[in-house]
Amino acid sequence: MAFIYKICRGAEWDDARRAGIYAGSAGDRRDGFIHFSSAHQLMGTLAKYYAGANDLMLVAVQQDALGDALKFEPSRDGALFPHLYGVLPLSAVAWTKPVVLQADGQFMLPPECI
């Protein structure tokens, strides 16, 4: 089973759990799709967009559950990134875990996605 990952603020994920769907961050909504990363893209995404943040959640999503709404499109440095054109149904989520910001400012990902 292939996974893609969404990094989001803890409060955003709390809102999603209450709503039963994740409609994306303000940036996602501005861009018209929900931004995801593959496992090997996570550290770059964290460094570029979330440096110093200590309230982050990592959401593992079964990419096959998203159907045709999921597109892999060129983004940072021409790499293909997963973009979801629609809301994320929580039924597609395999697990969520906090992203740990270590004392040295580096992020530590859960072992499941390394």
Whichever domain contains 56, its CATH number is: 3.20.170.20
Alpha-carbon gap, residue 114 to 94, rounded angstroms: 16
Percent of the chain with pLDDT over 70: 98
Strand, coil or helix: 3: strand
Sign of CA dihedral 94, 100, 105, 108: negative
* β-pair partners for 9: 56
Banded model confidence at residue 114, pLDDT cuts 50, 70, 90:
low
Question: How crowded is residue 28: how many other Cβ atoms within 10 Å of its Cβ?
Answer: 20
* Mean pLDDT value across residues 14-37: 96
| 47-56 mean pLDDT | 94
The structural domain count of the chain equals 1
User: pTM above the 0.85 mark?
Assistant: yes
Rg (CA), the chain: 13
Contact of 28 with 34, CB cutoff 8 Å: yes
Domain assignment of residue 59, given as a range: 3-113
Which of 97, 72, 111, 114 shows the shortest CA–CA distance to 8? 97
The predicted-structure confidence for 55-109, as pLDDT tens digits, reads as follows 999 999 999 999 999 999 998 888 899 999 999 999 999 999 999 999 999 999 9
